Structure 1
Amino acid sequence: MPSVNGTDLNAKRAQVAAQVKCDILTATQDADNDAQRISIGRSFISDTITAPTTEMYAYALKASVGDDVYHEATTSAFEAHMAQLTGKEAALFFSSGTQSNQIALRTHLTQPPYAVLCDERAHINQYEAGGTAFHSGAHQVGVQPSNGHHLTLEDVESRIVLSEDVHVSPTRIISLENTLNGTIFPQDEIIRISKFAHSNGVKMHLDGARLWHVAAETGTSVKELCEPFDSVSLCFSKGLGAPVGTILVGNAEFIRKAKWFRKLFGGGMRQIGVLTASCAYALNNHFPLLPAVHALAQRIEQGLVDLGAVIWSSAETCMVFYDPSPLGLEYGEIADRGAALPRPLILGGSRLVVHIQTSTEAAEDFLELIKTLAEEKKAAGFVYVKPAKNVNGARSIYVRRKSKV
């Protein structure tokens, strides 16, 4: 029997094994998961909270078990499908949209000085922790769309830098986003910008995290939507409900270099067949659900309009931005009252996000909550006058009566 200083080695090994044991599942894990799924169906915070279904898991468990740094069969098949679907030469799987966007930009950018032009509201500008500056050392120029909805060629022309003057940082990439805040970027305007960019040697990248919504709503093929761009990033963990995953597509040389950067940044992954299989399941089974998602978002919008709230950004796809102040309401009190319901609603600020697991009941309960709160305010002396037509950018007329002494 092996021993160390007279102590049985097997006993020590058993002691270490006992120390490393870890049981992170609760005694009621299945019931907890069911409760979580119900909660997800009543949350309007984001579409990133969607949970994998048992059917998705069952499909994913059949995936191959290779190492993707070397070769993973399920992942390679999925990447090949995505390249074909988008009309590009190659595709590469990433763990997140931020990682995909940032490595796309880094791959396009070769020799500084350089700049990236985008909508000032874009995810790469607002929500990627300054990654363009950190990872690529690039100047990022956020442009405000003059129409309040989407960038136009004229907006781009007013801010793009094509000069080689030593005082400036030339624009090397135009990065667009579709959808942006749930709104659809008109394809004809994208084509105008793309033709201008390519005629001046400027690359085009698309943050298409929610491009699936555009294809589902407009009936436009994914290939056509991607055609104006040199690279496109598409997410599966938002609107399509996969647990993890984004794909980056482009030409073969671009993807070869992007894979190198992915490894450099620690993004090379191992047995990820279960992840890419989940994404494939989402394409097969969840993409067809998106038109119903849009219809439910439009139902919420119309209900808010009928109650007298102002719509800041319409439900072109899965999001509604609203202002409840004409009803005398604030976002905080709406969220608090929603959370206090017998079946709580999870609400944030002005943005309402509908996803494939949002229940119709939750949408109706939200509208009923707004109605109830508005009636309470009215009973307390608050009066609003609803305008004849409530459109984007319009504000209802509202006044507060002085309380009786």
Structure 2
Amino acid sequence: MPIINSVFMSRSVIFRRFANTSTRKLHSSLLLIPSRRHYSNMDSATPTQNGSHPAKSTWVGYQGAAGLDLRSDTMTTPTPSMLAAIQTTTLLDDVFKEDPTTNELEEFCAKLTGKEAGLFVLSGTMGNVLGLRALLTQPPHSILCDHRSHIFKYEAGGVTSLTGAMLHLVTPKNGLYMTLEDIKENIVLDSDIHSCPTRVISLENTLGGVVMPLEEARRIADFARQTGKVRVHCDGARLWEAVASGAGSLKEYGACFDTINLCFSKGLGAPCGSILVGPKDIIDHARWIRKSIGGGLRQSGVLTSAARVAVEETFGKGDSGEGGLLKHTHDLAKEVGAMWTALGGKLTYPVHTNMCWLDLDAAGISGARFVEIGEQEGLKLGQGRIITHYQIWQNREVAVPKLKRVFERAMAEGGGKPNGQSEAGSKSQYATK
């Protein structure tokens, strides 16, 4: 008990005995989270003179570290309303499919996307692996995907090791997203035993913040169905962003894919989790596979309660995200892009959603130096990619002036010369994680 007191109680943490065990509801006395007095006034807290915030709000919402972290939308932190949802959630077993909070989230997301069923999973990586594995039967088989896709570059080879599938990489000719023409040039449909037949096309939307147009997704889906052999999966970790941009609704995009993986912990701000949606038989099979790799969850309501709040609070209402916050982040990303180009900078990709890609090489400054300047100005930055998640938008009056100073210093140091002609350092490294 003295250890608990010294570690937790000094941080305004509540740790009392569980009451009301018959209902299996999560009582606030069990939670190792800040008390309400710790975060009840978060929204009204004001920054200090240097732009930082009071110590008591160092991790909740935009007034925490997330409000000055532009490296990724994975840096978003749970809001007070998400934490409040956790306090009152149900605590039943999801392996037995008995937890109502989890069941309701799965049904809710399936309905949003026009699918029969959903399956909550711990991460987007798990969602992609389960979706692709459930669509495949047995080798030899291959998955057609963009050479920049997460399933190839950023998921530790999990798809290959757990599905036995070869990843057939495609470089889009337009430099932005795969088209039907790219698919037709690379797909393997014949029975030549020297080849590995395509059985799934995996599309990522958004990829690098760039939206795949709804019409292109429809063309690819129609073609795949006509083959009678090929299924289509969507790594839609950021599909919420494509919808918020006005490209189409979740149901419209959902109609193009057999399975979709959607992430709650990136731009939506939930602490953890993704959901896989699709036909009931596929989702039932994915649930079995989830169990086999250690993904079965017991008291999952602790996670799914926050995820439900994240969807409704950040994405918005309905399958088009009415009244959500994501559109504001897109406007801010465009503002950031304009701020960079006004100083003479160039962009690597067009700004479609909440990502702004700076061409640091053309500016004559290394990615490492750019990050260092950001640190000096009180910001956490990636090496050329700026992500304006919604907690940056909420903290824009502090974050944007800091970012402008970073841009001005970077351009002044680089002088607009390629890195090969500059003392700035080595060529910038871009990542799409």
1:169 corresponds to 2:196: yes
Question: Is contact 1:205–1:232 with CA below 8 Å preserved after alignment?
Answer: yes
State the distance in 1 between where 2:75 and 2:132 align.
27
Per the alignment, residue 58 of structure 1 pairs with 84
Per the alignment, residue 174 of structure 2 pairs with 147
Per the alignment, residue 231 of structure 1 pairs with 259
Matches within 5 A, 1:116-127: 116-127=143-154
Q: Deviations over 1:256-312 (max 9, x none)?
A: 111000001110001111211111111111110001110111110000000111100
Q: CA deviation at 1:68?
A: 0.6
Among 279, 286, 291, the alignment partner of 1:263 is 291
1:185 corresponds to 2:212: yes
State the distance in 1 between where 2:259 and 2:411 align.
47
State the distance in 1 between where 2:181 and 2:340 align.
34
What's the secondary structure of 2:386's corresponding residue?
A: strand
TM-score by length of 2: 0.80
State the distance in 1 between where 2:291 and 2:55 align.
36
Q: Look up the equivalent residue of 1:165 and give its one-letter code.
A: D
Q: Look up the equivalent residue of 1:119 and give its one-letter code.
A: D
Per the alignment, residue 34 of structure 2 pairs with none
Q: CA deviation at 1:55?
A: 1.7
What's the secondary structure of 2:352's corresponding residue?
A: coil
1:371 corresponds to 2:399: no
Q: What do you get for the CA RMSD once the two structures are aligned?
A: 2.3
State the distance in 2 between where 1:129 and 1:298 align.
32
Among 94, 106, 114, the alignment partner of 1:87 is 114
Per the alignment, residue 296 of structure 1 pairs with 332
Q: Look up the equivalent residue of 1:252 and give its one-letter code.
A: K
Among 27, 47, 56, the alignment partner of 2:10 is 27
Q: Look up the equivalent residue of 1:180 and give its one-letter code.
A: L
TM-score by length of 1: 0.85
Among 372, 380, 383, the alignment partner of 1:336 is 372
In 2 relative to 1, CA 93–376 (structure 1 residues): closer, same or farther, beyond 3 Å?
closer
What's the secondary structure of 2:261's corresponding residue?
A: strand
Q: Look up the equivalent residue of 1:171 and give its one-letter code.
A: T
Matches within 5 A, 1:1-400: 24-25=7-8, 27-28=10-11, 34-36=57-59, 37-70=63-96, 71-200=98-227, 201-218=229-246, 220-287=248-315, 288-341=324-377, 344-358=378-392, 359-360=395-396, 361-375=398-412, 382=415
Question: Is contact 1:383–1:399 with CA below 8 Å preserved after alignment?
Answer: no
Question: Is contact 1:230–1:250 with CA below 8 Å preserved after alignment?
Answer: yes
In 2 relative to 1, CA 203–373 (structure 1 residues): closer, same or farther, beyond 3 Å?
closer
State the distance in 1 between where 2:204 and 2:117 align.
21
Q: CA deviation at 1:369?
A: 2.1
- For this pair of structures, how many residues does the alignment match? 367
State the distance in 1 between where 2:280 and 2:380 align.
44
Question: Is contact 2:213–2:247 with CA below 8 Å preserved after alignment?
Answer: no
In 2 relative to 1, CA 181–275 (structure 1 residues): closer, same or farther, beyond 3 Å?
same
- The structure that is strand-richer by fraction is 1
State the distance in 2 between where 1:383 and 1:210 align.
33
Q: Deviations over 1:311-347 (max 9, x none)?
A: 0012210111112344443222222122123xx1111
Q: CA deviation at 1:39?
A: 2.3
In 2 relative to 1, CA 112–24 (structure 1 residues): closer, same or farther, beyond 3 Å?
farther
Structure 1: state its 5+ residue gaps. 1-16, 385-395
What's the secondary structure of 1:182's corresponding residue?
A: coil
Name segments (4+ residues, structure 1) moved above 6 Å.
396-401
State the distance in 1 between where 2:10 and 2:403 align.
33
State the distance in 1 between where 2:314 and 2:205 align.
19
